[in-house]
Amino acid sequence: MEHYYSQKPSVAHNENKIHFKVKDFQLEFITDAGVFSKKRVDFGSNLLINSVPQTSGKILDLGCGYGVIGISLSLLNPSSEVTMVDINERAVELANRNIELNNIKNAQAIQSDGFEKVSGNFDVIVSNPPIRAGKKVIYPLFEQSIDYLNANGSIYLVIQKKQGAKSALEKLESIYGNCEVIIKDAGYWILKSTKTV
- pLDDT in single tens digits along all 197 residues of the chain: 445 455 666 677 889 999 999 998 999 999 998 787 767 888 999 999 999 999 999 999 999 999 999 999 999 999 999 999 999 999 999 999 999 999 999 999 999 999 999 999 999 999 999 877 778 889 999 999 999 999 999 999 999 999 989 999 999 999 999 999 999 999 999 999 999 98
Helix, coil or strand: residue 163: helix
pLDDT tens-digit profile of 3-42? 545 566 667 788 999 999 999 899 999 999 878 776 788 8
Residue 185 falls within a domain, yes or no? yes
Backbone dihedral region of 164: left (phi > 0), alpha (psi from -120 to 50 degrees) or beta? Answer: left
Residue 9 falls within a domain, yes or no? no
CB neighbours of residue 57 within 10 Å: 15
Residue 128 falls within a domain, yes or no? yes
Helix, coil or strand: residue 34: coil
What integer best gives the mean pLDDT of the chain?
Answer: 92
Element (H, E) at 157: strand 149-160
Whether the CB-CB separation of 6 and 35 falls below 8 Å is answered with no
CB neighbours of residue 187 within 10 Å: 13
Residue 11 falls within a domain, yes or no? no
Residue 179 falls within a domain, yes or no? yes
Number of folded domains that form the chain: 1
CATH number at residue 114: 3.40.50.150
Residue 24 falls within a domain, yes or no? yes
Residue 147 falls within a domain, yes or no? yes
Say how far apart CA 49 and CA 43 lie, in whole Å.
10
Residue 10 falls within a domain, yes or no? no
Whether the CB-CB separation of 123 and 83 falls below 8 Å is answered with no
Q: Which domain holds residue 150?
A: 16-194
